[in-house]
Structure 1
Amino acid sequence: MIKYWVLTVCCFCAVQLSFGKVYKVATPEEFSKAAAVVLPGDEIVIAKGNYNGWSLTLNANGTAAKPIIIRAEKTGKVIFQGEVRRAVLKISGSYIEVKGLSFEGCILFKGKGSDVVLVHLDAARYCRLSDCKFIKDTVNTDFMPIVVVSGNGDHNRIDNCSFSANFNNQEVQVRVGKEDVSLYTLIDHNTFMDKDSVTWKGNNGGECVQIGQDPIMLGNRYSYATVRDNRFIRCNGEPEVISNKSSGNKYVNNYFEDCHGELVMRGGHECLVDSNTFAGGTGGVRVNGTTHTITNNKFKGLPIAIRLMYGMAKGKIDTGFYIAASDCVIKNNKINQCGTGILIGGSKNADWTGKFDTKRYPSRTMQDVAPFNNEVENNAIKNTKVPVLKETAP
């Protein structure tokens, strides 16, 4: 009997040891103290409440079996609000999960020498932002994102988050730099909705998702990001709902409804656009660059479903403000009730003289290189005024 009692106690102690410590915090100071001592399996629980002026950092390492968790005491009841002049939450290290936080009505002010964002995964590995809400957040300067993945990290994930009625900002940005790039980012099962047009000059800087920032000089860098199973509803921030500006990325099984914008291969090469649905709105998929695969997508009620664009240059080596669409596969897509199904030759002979810095971007300014060597076949196009329109003549 004593032997069984000892065995039971040992088992209980083993179970206790398998769980980490829980640190409940309600101030930035309490968070910082917990962040300095957390170990794999520990949790930092932020107490219910509305908070303003917080700037939190955590640089630590969990494990795959025992991640470090930062979570709301109750999902949706920990709300960050007000002016933001430094990152609210900056995560570095590995195997850290952030869950259940809300950011509502935050106003981000750009500062010198610091990233002003709501959540920043900085050179992180296997970290996760999950089940968080971003509602009516805005910024004071163009091209500012509210969630950023950057640095030489890999396998970070943003999932099951809600982005609603955010204004004048980019919502999720994966940075691709000359010296560093975060690889294999997964953005999945999020909802982006009710995003009004930006007020910035040129109607630019309001993407929901941006993978890479410099398609002209850094579009050849491979980031291998995956954007899948997300919903984009009434996203009208700018002409690019999703902006791809790097290579080797995948866009799979996303749903777009009544968006004033497109899924855009602005730069980069060898991306996959597969099994997405576009219902209403101003456009479907726009393609520059080489060796993209656009397959098994559904388009309904659009002016133009798929656009293969002219460029200033061709191939993966030449520098051009736009690269002509070439060697792409456009296959097995279903197009219904559109004005034009597939346009081969968008922006023909567009003149960009004076519209970009030719010293920074050593490119010709005339968009006169036609799309070429693209495989367009087995697409089911119905009830569409112009199934395929070719504008490739000189």
Structure 2
Amino acid sequence: MDKPLARNKTGRVARLLNRLPPAPASTLAACACALLAQTVVAATHFTDSEASIANAISAAVPGDTIVVKDGVYTFPVRINGRDGTAASPITFKAQTVGGVTFTGPQLSDRTKLRVERDHWVIDGFRFTDVTADGTQSSDRVTVVRVREASDNVLRNLSISDSGLTSSNPDSNAANNSMYLDITDRSARNVVERSEFLNNNDAIVVRVAGGSTDLFSTDNVFRYNYWSGNAGYETLQLSWGSSAGAAFRTVVEHNLWEDNASSSELISSKSSENVFRHNTFEHNNDQLVLRGGNDGVVDSNYFIDGRGVRAYGADHTITNNYFEGSYGTESGNLRGGILLGAGDHDDAPYAAVRNSEVSNNSIINTGAYSLLYGYFYNATWNGDLIDIPPYDNEFSDNLIVNSRGKAIDRQNNAPDASNTWSGNYTWSTGSGSPGHAPDGVTTGADPQLERDSLGNLVATAAPDAGARMRYRRLTADDVGPGSTFVAGLAGDYDQDGQVSQSDWLRWQSLYRSQELAADGNFDGEINAADYTVWRDAQQAAAASVPEASAVALAASVLTGHVAAVYRARR
């Protein structure tokens, strides 16, 4: 893990992270080996009509592949045949990534694609113009629904320009319409390399259906792209009275870019969810730990946008890098880190307590950097919000502000039981330090410099602030057809391959405090990291398989990736 997780509250973080799925690279490698080792001859079903697709779904057995010919299809699809197995999933894929478009009418539950079986791989499809009117409460539409279905992979999907067509939709219709719904005891599904675009009137992705669905757990989102969305949550991790339920959703290596104001960019209303190594760029809303406990927000980028707002207990907010502001602040739309106050019933909000906020870099995020006691002494629906955050640890954060207060106690929220150590603030322009208890250094120039990843670090306070291991993600790294994998052993320049340039990168960072070339994750750049690079390069050179094996693995794992697809985005 990154430096703060190795250094702070390792017991709690390890408990949360040790139960998570393996890293993407190892997952793909294990899958490839299992697929290539199969001795059963699997069948491939080629389809090009509603009847042929339905027949193939009914006939498919574990290990089979159903290929849909490129084209535009207006009918809905229901995956209700046999289950696959862990070793031999059933694959339902487009002939080429992005080459098959589903549009128009839905099933009786207003769903375009419904997945009802386990161990399927859904790969390469495009969905657009899947709509409902939205003026009535009963008007709703879901593009893809995973229902009572577990251990599936949804890969290389593109969902765009769908939802409700009304300019003023009924609120119930909007709250029950979405691009992707994972619900009704659907666990351990992986959504990867997909994109969710241009949804302005409904929820984009929802996991679980409130207090009646507490078992849609351990799902993973990685290398996905969200852009052009507004109005409702782009990712909602349950809703209603499910805050105490441990959903353990993992959200990693995703990119949110150019999303407008919504009710919340991400709304986590369940417990033990993990957000790590994501990039949020130019979004006019926040990642919100709205309800639930034991959330992890670690090693994310927040660039020219809003930040993190949190309520609840036992959270870990560490090693995040915030720089720049979206623009004028209003209501909840503020940058940096906002830690909420609560009331005595923890409803509607629970005060942040027993949480760790450490090693974050918060640099010129507008009028707000670290806002403590958000909503303190205010009234919400008749309830007085009068419990400030308490029993929290604030350590080794770096705050640089040219406006507002570096640490702002809203309405002088009391700070009696929190601990502060190693924090560093530097205020310029119209900015001021604000709250400065013992453990907060003010007025000393941190001597900021850009590191090799382009991030500002404090050379005069090397223990303060974030030390990012991975670079910021771009649109080419994520979504359909992408292949970039963060954390590839020995890939120190993060270009997706191990080569001589990685040795040069290790050499330039030797004995530095940067982590981009920390191959063995011990927090130091030394000879051991050279060994990681050398072994990775030798393994890559020695393990080039026969061309036929490469073709088979690539076909099964990623589909036939169309080179023109990325250009169409």
TM-score band w.r.t. shorter chain: 0.7 to 0.9
Percent sequence identity over matched residues?
27
Mapped pair 1:289 → 2:316: no
Query: Which residue number in structure 1 is paired with residue 419 of structure 2?
Result: none
Query: Which residue number in structure 1 is paired with residue 158 of structure 2?
Result: 133
Q: SS state of the match for residue 18, structure 1?
A: coil
Mapped pair 1:49 → 2:82: no
Query: Which residue number in structure 2 is paired with residue 178 of structure 1?
Result: 211
Q: SS state of the match for residue 192, structure 1?
A: strand
Mapped pair 1:107 → 2:107: no
Query: Which residue number in structure 1 is paired with residue 267 of structure 2?
Result: 243
Query: Which residue number in structure 1 is paired with residue 338 of structure 2?
Result: 307
- Equivalent residue runs for 1:118-157 within 5 Å: 118-139=143-164, 141-143=173-175, 144-157=177-190
Q: Distance in 1 between matches of 2:217 and 2:66?
A: 27
Q: Distance in 1 between matches of 2:255 and 2:203?
A: 16
Deviations 1:329-373 (A, max 9, x none): 1000011112322110112233222xxxxxxxxxx6222221111
* Structure 1 residues 113 and 154: alpha-carbon distance in aligned structure 2, compared to 1, 3 A threshold: farther
TM-score, normalised on structure 1? 0.84
- Greater CA deviation, 145-154 or 290-299? 145-154
Q: Which residue of 357, 365, 371 maps to 2:383?
A: 365
CA contact (8 A) 1:223 1:247 kept: yes
Q: Distance in 1 between matches of 2:117 and 2:298?
A: 33
Q: Which residue of 266, 280, 290 maps to 1:256?
A: 280
- Greater CA deviation, 62-71 or 365-374? 365-374
- Greater CA deviation, 29-38 or 217-226? 29-38
- 1:237 deviates by 4.7
Q: Distance in 2 between matches of 1:114 and 1:36?
A: 30
Q: SS state of the match for residue 88, structure 1?
A: strand
CA contact (8 A) 2:132 2:139 kept: no
* Structure 1 residues 175 and 155: alpha-carbon distance in aligned structure 2, compared to 1, 3 A threshold: same
Query: Which residue number in structure 1 is paired with residue 94 of structure 2?
Result: 72
CA contact (8 A) 1:108 1:117 kept: no
* Structure 1 residues 342 and 15: alpha-carbon distance in aligned structure 2, compared to 1, 3 A threshold: closer
CA contact (8 A) 2:309 2:339 kept: yes
- 1:18 deviates by 2.8
Query: Which residue number in structure 1 is paired with residue 142 of structure 2?
Result: 117
Deviations 1:220-260 (A, max 9, x none): 01100001110000111504111100001000011111101
* Structure 1 residues 105 and 226: alpha-carbon distance in aligned structure 2, compared to 1, 3 A threshold: same
Deviations 1:185-235 (A, max 9, x none): 00110010122x33xxxxxxx111110111xx2210110000111000011
* Structure 1 residues 179 and 59: alpha-carbon distance in aligned structure 2, compared to 1, 3 A threshold: farther
Query: Which residue number in structure 2 is paired with residue 268 of structure 1?
Result: 292
Q: Distance in 2 between matches of 1:312 and 1:29?
A: 57
Query: Which residue number in structure 2 is paired with residue 207 of structure 1?
Result: 233
Q: SS state of the match for residue 353, structure 2?
A: coil
Q: Which residue of 351, 356, 359 maps to 2:379?
A: 351
Q: SS state of the match for residue 60, structure 1?
A: coil
* Structure 1 residues 113 and 59: alpha-carbon distance in aligned structure 2, compared to 1, 3 A threshold: farther
Root mean square deviation, CA, Å: 2.3
Q: Distance in 2 between matches of 1:231 and 1:381?
A: 24
- 1:15 deviates by 9.3
Mapped pair 1:327 → 2:354: yes
Q: SS state of the match for residue 61, structure 1?
A: coil
- 1:103 deviates by 0.6
Higher RCO structure, 1 or 2 (CA under 8 Å, sep 6+): 2
* Structure 1 residues 27 and 236: alpha-carbon distance in aligned structure 2, compared to 1, 3 A threshold: same
- 1:108 deviates by 3.7
TM-score, normalised on structure 2? 0.59
- 1:271 deviates by 0.6
* Structure 1 residues 106 and 113: alpha-carbon distance in aligned structure 2, compared to 1, 3 A threshold: closer
Q: SS state of the match for residue 117, structure 2?
A: strand
CA contact (8 A) 1:291 1:328 kept: yes
Tell me, which stretches of 5 or more residues in structure 1 are unaligned? 1-13, 199-205, 354-363
Q: Which amino acid aligns with 1:292?
A: H
Q: Which residue of 223, 226, 244 maps to 1:192?
A: 226
Q: Distance in 2 between matches of 1:73 and 1:62?
A: 20
CA contact (8 A) 1:132 1:160 kept: yes
* Structure 1 residues 59 and 376: alpha-carbon distance in aligned structure 2, compared to 1, 3 A threshold: farther
Query: Which residue number in structure 2 is paired with residue 9 of structure 1?
Result: none
- 1:59 deviates by 4.3
Q: Which residue of 106, 118, 122 maps to 1:94?
A: 118
Mapped pair 1:390 → 2:409: yes
